[in-house]
């Protein structure tokens, strides 16, 4: 009977060995690819107008924009504030004065004109812009008031303020953004509509996937992808969850991601008994905060044929 026990033990150990080999030793490799482009509900196609701005869809992160005026005599300071009131009256924009860390800096110190490289055009412009897939987000702008104006309306200050909002010169002599001053110039309705449309999008972040690839070897998963923030503000903490079918095979915590920045995540030999090469892989961004577009928070990968 001892030989029967030995044979039974042998078969038990063989089964355990085969199961161990199946679960823990990678065998065949299955590559997964993103076969179809993921659609997005977010579109700026009706907003884009290349003739208005230095770059497409230039805006500050919020329609409420901070400013600070320094080194200006009373007359020029008053002109700047009247210009701000003029733009506020025509658009949905709101401006508020701060004592530091302003988004738009206004000065009358003509020594700064030597640093003209900081300005995009004339005596007003943007000094720091972050490019995303959706917007060119303005971090800071500057206005330098040098010229006196004889107009009843604050034409010069309004013109330079518009430059700090990302707007370039117009070819229309009646437009506020024409290169030379005429006291009858006004901001065009098309510009007003453009601003109101551009700033109608809320100040949210927008996380999305890029370059997602994965490989399954036995019960091991290798993955590589990029998460980028194409929104208007820095993102909060989020989690990436990887599914095989309906089973969770991996969770990855994400810290805050700055506007326009991305992080690359790669993992190798992630063992999971639930993984199956017969099912699609899903990568999902679990973000418990508002975003410009939630439809780009999930990608589905299928076996490469």
Query: Could you tell me which of 87, 60, 58, 69 has the C-alpha nearest to residue 155?
Result: 87
Quote the pLDDT of residue 41: 60
Query: Could you tell me which of 89, 51, 2, 23 has the C-alpha nearest to residue 194?
Result: 51
pLDDT in tens, 59-115: 999 999 999 999 999 988 999 999 999 999 999 999 999 999 999 999 987 654 544
Spell 240-275 as b/e; 16+ CB within 10 A means b. Answer: bebbbeeeebbebebeebebbebeeeeeeebebeeb
Quote the pLDDT of residue 121: 32
Residues in the chain where the model's pLDDT stays below 70: 1-50, 110-122, 148, 304-305
Q: Domains in the chain and their CATH numbers?
A: 24-42+206-303 (2.60.40.10), 58-198 (3.40.390.10)
- In angstroms, the CA 171 to CA 157 distance is 19
SS3 content of the chain, % helix, strand, coil (to 5): 25, 35, 40
Quote the pLDDT of residue 40: 57
DSSP element (H, E) containing 19: helix 2-24
Quote the pLDDT of residue 104: 97
Quote the pLDDT of residue 305: 60
- Joined together, the tokens standing for residue 276 give 């199956």
Quote the pLDDT of residue 220: 84
- In angstroms, the CA 157 to CA 79 distance is 6
Quote the pLDDT of residue 122: 41
Q: Are strands 207-217 and 124-131 parallel, antiparallel or unpaired?
A: unpaired
Quote the pLDDT of residue 272: 79
| CB within 8 Å of 205: residues ≥ 6 apart | 229, 231, 232, 233, 234, 235, 236, 257, 259, 289, 291, 292
Query: Could you tell me which of 145, 119, 133, 147 has the C-alpha nearest to residue 54?
Result: 119
Beta bridge partners of 106: 69, 143
pLDDT in tens, 194-206: 999 999 999 999 9
């Amino acid at each position: 009977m001892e030989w029967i026990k030995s044979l039974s033990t042998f078969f038990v150990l063989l089964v355990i060995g085969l199961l161990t080999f199946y679960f823990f030793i990678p065998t065949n490799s299955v590559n997964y690819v993103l076969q179809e482009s993921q659609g997005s509900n977010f579109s700026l196609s009706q907003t884009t107008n290349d003739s208005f701005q230095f770059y497409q869809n230039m805006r500050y992160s919020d329609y409420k924009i901070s400013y600070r005026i320094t080194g200006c005599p009373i007359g020029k300071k008053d002109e700047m504030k009247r210009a701000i009131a003029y733009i506020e009256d025509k658009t949905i924009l709101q401006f508020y004065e701060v004592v530091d860390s302003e988004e738009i800096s206004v000065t009358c110190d003509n020594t700064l004109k030597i640093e003209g490289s900081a300005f995009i055009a004339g005596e007003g412009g943007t000094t720091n812009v972050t490019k995303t897939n959706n917007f060119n987000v303005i971090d800071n702008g500057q206005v330098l008031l040098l010229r006196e104006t004889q107009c009843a309306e604050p034409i010069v200050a309004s013109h330079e303020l518009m430059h700090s909002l990302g707007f370039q010169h117009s070819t229309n002599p009646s437009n506020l953004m024409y290169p030379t001053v005429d006291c009858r110039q006004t901001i065009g309705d098309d510009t007003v509509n453009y601003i109101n449309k551009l700033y109608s999008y809320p100040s949210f972040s927008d996380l999305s996937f890029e370059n997602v690839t994965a490989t399954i070897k036995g019960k091991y998963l290798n993955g590589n992808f990029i998460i980028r923030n194409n929104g208007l503000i820095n993102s909060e903490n989020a989690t990436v969850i990887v599914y095989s079918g309906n089973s969770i095979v991996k969770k990855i915590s994400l810290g805050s991601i700055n506007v326009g920045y991305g992080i690359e995540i790669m993992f190798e030999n992630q063992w999971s008994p639930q993984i199956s090469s017969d099912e699609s892989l899903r990568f999902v961004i679990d973000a418990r905060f508002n975003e410009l577009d939630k439809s780009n928070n999930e990608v589905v990968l299928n076996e490469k044929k």
